[in-house]
Copies of this chain bind each other. A is one copy, B any other.
């Protein structure tokens, strides 16, 4: 991720916690959602790790990533059951105890009523010492922030509400803009020209993505960067490049924000 101008964007890692993704039972959709939202906020996702509900692995993953990225987000493992061990793991990773958050306890009490606040539900008020809460408008069980680590629920609807809250509060970079040009050329026909275009615009990232749709091989060429003028100039060059090879480029999205 060296390509973006240093200081323009932040670089984040994402940890997806859950056996259900690794078993192929559940299609992860949180990564794409989070990636898109971060892009709009000038935060580049630099790595994603999907890990099982395994304490040693989760602790190691948080420690690896929080040392190497400006932000670390996680989803999953914050519920009331035996396989919800994220808070415990993050406390271990930071070398702090879990402690009851009176604020979280009050949120859960308001949601469930004191009589229904059973021990498994009360467990969801235990967060690493030094954390602050990320509110959960759906089921009250909060996420939390400790230093540069943001722990969110795995259920998409809840995660999305938590992410909105987080993105309203953290430091953003310049939005990462992208332009996509689609064509029908085989990528090998224009590979040399694409490499030259990438060399001409070191602050942009040029991606080449072949795909099958309806039995036809197509190609999407994507330029990304934070400088709108440079992006526009490079996109004009890219369109000219495709035309030079005898194809009619289709601008799928020009000067849009996000990906």
A residues apposed to B, CB below 8 Å: 1-2, 18-29, 31-39, 44-54, 57, 79-83, 118-121, 123-124, 139, 155-157, 176, 178, 180, 187-189, 191-192, 194-195, 198, 205-212, 217, 222, 224, 258-259
Contacts and interface: CB of A to CB of B under 8 A. Distances in A.
Contacts of A36: 24
Contacts of A39: 23-24
B45 A48 contact: no
B191 A82 contact: yes
Interface secondary structure of A, over-half rule: mixed
Given A23-B39, A208-B81, A47 B50 contact: yes
Give this chain's copy count: 2
B57 A52 contact: no
Nearest to A2: B54
A62 to B, nearest CB: 14
Given A24-B258, A28-B31, A155-B210, 17 more contacts: A21-B48, A22-B44, A22-B46, A23-B176, A23-B178, A23-B259, A25-B209, A25-B259, A46-B52, A47-B50, A47-B57, A50-B50, A53-B207, A79-B210, A82-B195, A119-B192, A120-B192
With most chain B CB atoms within 10 A of its CB, the pick from A53, A157, A188, A194 is A188
Contacts of A178: 23, 25
A176 to B, nearest CB: 8
B27 A81 contact: no
Given A45-B23, A206-B83, A212-B155, A1 B31 contact: no
A231 to B, nearest CB: 14
Nearest to A61: B47
A194 B82 contact: yes
A195 B85 CA distance: 12
A188 B20 contact: no
Nearest to A219: B81
